[in-house]
């Protein structure tokens, strides 16, 4: 449990990256829909 950092930050990092990626994809889709 001493190297909990990997698991803790691994979880948070992946979560926020995925949410960020979702937003990026959505912005791209929005741009294409307006075109």
Partner 1 sequence: MNWFWYASPQTFYPLAGRVAPWFGGAALLLALAGLYTGFFVAPTDAQQGEVYRIIYIHVPAAWMSMFIYLVMAVWAALGLAFNTRLSGMMATALAPTGALFTFIALWTGSLWGRPTWGTYWVWDARLTSELVLLFLYFGFIALQAAIDDPRRADRAGALLAIVGAVNIPIIHYSVVWWNTLHQGASVSVTKGASMQSQMLAAMLLMALAFWMYSIAVTLVRVRCIIREREG
Chain contacts with partner 1 (rule: CB under 8 A): 1, 3-4, 7-8, 10-12, 14-15, 18-19, 22-23, 26, 29-30, 33-34
Instruction: Find the shortest distance in angstroms from Cβ 14 to partner 1.
Output: 6
Instruction: Find the shortest distance in angstroms from Cβ 15 to partner 1.
Output: 5
Complete DSSP assignment for 1-35: -TTHHHHHHHHHHHHHHHHHHHHHHHHHHHHHHH-
Instruction: Find the shortest distance in angstroms from Cβ 11 to partner 1.
Output: 4
């Amino acid at each position: 449990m001493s190297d909990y950092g990997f698991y803790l930050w691994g979880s948070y990092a992946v979560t926020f990256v995925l949410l960020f990626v979702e937003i990026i994809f959505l912005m791209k889709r929005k741009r294409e829909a307006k075109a």
